[in-house]
Structure formats: structure tokens, C-alpha cells
Amino acid sequence: MSHTEDYQDLVIVDSDFESILTNPILDIAARFWDEDRYQAFKVCYRSMREIDDLVDDRKVDGQTFSPAEQKSYTENINELIGGLVKTESGGRTLRMLLEVIQKFKIPLWPWQRLAKAMIYDIKNDGFDSFMTFRRYTEGAAISPASVFMHLCGVSQSGQEFSLPKFDICKAARPLAVFSYLVHIMRDYEKDQTRNLNYFPNDILKRHSLTAAEIQNLCMNGIVDDRVRSLFTDYKRLADYYRKRALKSVNDTIPYLKPKYQLSLNLIYSLYMQIFDKIDCANGSFSTAELNPTPAEVQKQIDFTVKNFKAV
């Protein structure tokens, strides 16, 4: 069969295509799914973003959480998560989420792990070590990626859905960590101006930096040898997970229908587009430099779709 005959139903049909190109990459990839799964993803992802933003938006002012705030925010998050396991009806948003979880048989642990990561954020300022950061990603990055992977992998018979035939967390983990490390480098300027730092202290120390120093350098537009060596180190880490991510994608796609195979290829491809922009020797690491333009994103999508071959 020709490319058109094989995959004509996999292209995005959207009257305002350019408007979606600034959306999260997971959202762009999910646009290739059946509509009910895409809407399910949006409900799940929105609920996770609300929990994440609850903490990030508070950190923007640069102040640490007081003991009273730690208690209040922790209780708020636990209450939100607790609503997922209660049988009584909550608000409309919670009811929509519960309906999606029940229909698609999505496990609750991604939200529970996300809550654990956000509570860590509330009680801690940064990460002492990369291993601490890596554990944090189980909730902050791997949880939403696992929901995405679950929705890729469920199979449908009539109105009923069956669980994926693979471990969604194991399948999602390498791609999620690779993506998150790329995010941190891409959003370096934006995060530092918002008092958000995701570079662990042990890695900063290895490059003769502290969290306060890296923020000061960023705010003043200074890229010295220490910053370049930090990005070189981080890109090396990202490349390690990139290789594992590619293997994980290749191991997972045989369990998926073509449009869901394509969505995983798109995630890898669009993060690789950012990864390749990171020039540790000569780059400025600015938001403008590291974010692909809408035209570049569309070109990358077109390239990935054109070269996609289902397994």
C-alpha cells in the first residue's frame, strides 16, 4: 500500500492547526488518536497540571513555604487525590475524571505518585542529589507519561476496554526521564526567572555552582564555562536516557495500533528536535534559542508522519 492509503487517517485534522503547535508535546502526539481517547487524555492531563501548577505558581514569588503553608498545601493535595478513591460524587471536574478513569480502566497510582512529588516540592527547596531528583520524576514526569502510555495501550471491544498487554510504567519511564531532562534545559531561562530550579546540588557542585549562582548568571545573561560544562553534563545524562527511550519505544510499539505507534514516534521525534538545538559549546541557552518555532514543529511533524512505518 502507498503511504496515503496506509496512514491518511492518522493526520491531524484541525481548522486552526498552528494554534496547537505551542501545546505540550504529549497533547500534540495525542491529537492523532481516536477522539474519545484524546478527550480522555485531556481530562487526565488537565487534572495533573492543576496539581502541579498549584505548587509551581506559589514558588514563583521566591519565598519558601511556611510550616502552616506546608500543612495547608499538603492537605489540599491529599484531599484532591482522596477524591479519586471515594465513591460519592464530587464536583463536575472530578466526576469527569472519575468517568474517564473508570471507562478506560486507568490505575490511580499515577495521581498518587504525582501528589507525592508535589508534596516533596512543598517541603523541600531543590534536590540534594540526582538520585533524589530521579525519584522525584516518578511522580512529576513518569506518572503523566504512564497515563499517556496506558491510553495508547488499552484495546477496545465494543464499548469495553481491556488493559494494555505491557507494563505502562516500565514502558513510559525512559522516554519520560529523557523528555524531562530536555525540558529542564529548554526551560532554563524561563524556570530561573520563575524561581524554579531543577539542577540537583551535587551536579551544580561538580561544576563549581550553587542554585543561587546559576540563577544570578541566568538573570544577567551570563554563560560562562561553568554553565557550559553543566549543560554538557546534563545533555550527556539526557543522551543516556534517550538511548533507553528509543529502545523502550521500539519494544512497546508492537503492542499498539498504528496511530498509537505514531504518537510515540512523534514524542521521541519532537523532543529530539529540541535536544539537537542544545549547543553546549556555543549556545546562549535562551528560551528563544531552544524552543522550535511553530513552523519548525510542523515541519518535524510532517517529516515524522511521512517517514512513519507501522510495525
C-alpha cell read off for 214: 546559576
pLDDT, residue 15, reads 40
Q: Decide if 285 is inside a domain.
A: yes
Number of other CB atoms surrounding residue 157 within 10 Å: 7
Q: What is the three-class DSSP state of 220?
A: coil
Q: What values do phi and psi take at 163, rounded to 5?
A: -65, 155
**Does residue 95 lie within any of the structural domains?**
yes
DSSP summary character for residue 293: P
pTM assigned to the model: 0.90
Total tally of structural domains belonging to the chain: 1
Do residues 210 and 197 lie in contact, with contact meaning Cβ atoms separated by under 8 Å? no
Q: What is the pLDDT of residues 80-114, one digit of tens each?
A: 888 776 645 556 778 889 999 999 999 999 999 99
More confident residue, 193 or 59: 193
Residue 131 within a domain? yes
Q: Mean pLDDT, to the nearest integer, of 59-78? A: 83
Q: How far apart are CA 138 and CA 174, in angstroms?
A: 11
Residues paired with residue 160 on neighbouring β-strands, in sequence order: 157
Q: Which three cell numbers stand for residue 12?
A: 491531524
Higher pLDDT, 283 or 13: 283
CATH number of the domain to which 274 belongs:
1.10.600.10
* 84 in a structural domain: yes
Domain enclosing residue 182, as ranges:
3-306
Q: What is the C-alpha separation between 301 and 20, in angstroms, rounded?
A: 12
* 311 falls within a domain: no
Enter the C-alpha cell of residue 158.
465494543
Report yes or no on 19 lying in a domain. yes
**pLDDT tens track for 137-186:** 999 999 999 999 999 999 999 889 999 999 999 999 999 999 999 999 99
